[in-house]
Amino acid sequence: MRQRTMEIVVGAFVLAGCGALLFLALQVSGLTPQAAEPTYKVYANFNDVGGLSVRGQVSMAGVTIGRVTAITLDPKTYQARVEMEINKSAEIIPTDSSAIIRTAGLLGEKYVDVSVGADQEYMKDGDTFYGTQSALNIERLISNFASGK
C-alpha cells in the first residue's frame, strides 16, 4: 500500500511539472488563450526587415500596441511589406508617424517601434506608414568597415 501511494505522489508531481512547462511555453510564445481585442491593420514598407518575424511586437513609447501579422515582398517596389494588427485601444497613431525596426537588447528579437508624429489626423484601417527606417544590418556594417567603404 505504501509503494502505491508513493507512485501516485510521484505521478502527480510529474503531471504538475508537465503542466507548468506547458504554461510557461504558452506564455513565452505569446499563444495565451486570451480574449482577442479588436484590431485594425496598418502597413509599412522596408528595404530590409533584418530578422523581423511574424508575431513580432509593435510598440509605441515602450508599450506593446500590436503584432506583426505578415511579411511579404512587394513585386513592384522590391521592398518588404509588413502587415501589422494594431489594438483599437491604440487608435491614436498620427498619420505622419514613422515605423522603425529595432532590436530588443544586444542580441534580442526585432520589433517595430512607432515613432509618433504631430499630425492631427490618425491612421485608419489599411493605411501605410509614410516614413520607415529599416533594420540595422550589423554584418553589412562590418563588411563595409572591413572593405573601407
Residues 92 and 126 in one domain: yes
Provide the pLDDT for residue 14. 93
H-helix or E-strand containing 24?
Answer: helix 2-29
Segments forming the whole domain that contains residue 26: 1-34
Q: What is the pLDDT of residues 24-50, one digit of tens each?
A: 887 776 665 555 788 999 999 998 888
Residues 119 and 76 in one domain: yes
Residues 28 and 85 in one domain: no
Residues 28 and 53 in one domain: no
Residues 53 and 28 in one domain: no
Cα gap 107→122, rounded to integer Å: 33
Residues 126 and 57 in one domain: yes
Residues 134 and 109 in one domain: yes
Residues 121 and 70 in one domain: yes
Q: What is the pLDDT of residues 78-91, one digit of tens each?
A: 999 999 999 988 88
Provide the pLDDT for residue 141. 74
- 119 is a domain residue: yes
Residues 44 and 26 in one domain: no
Q: Is the torsion defined by CA of 6, 12, 15, 16 positive or negative?
A: negative
- CB burial class (10 A; 0-12, 13-18, 19+) of residue 3? exposed
Write down how long the chain is. Answer: 149
Residues 57 and 121 in one domain: yes
- How many domains does the chain divide into? 2
- 95 is a domain residue: yes
Provide the strand spans (E) within 35-143. 39-46, 57-60, 63-74, 79-87, 98-103, 110-115, 131-133
Residues 55 and 117 in one domain: yes
Residues 21 and 73 in one domain: no
Provide the pLDDT for residue 69. 94
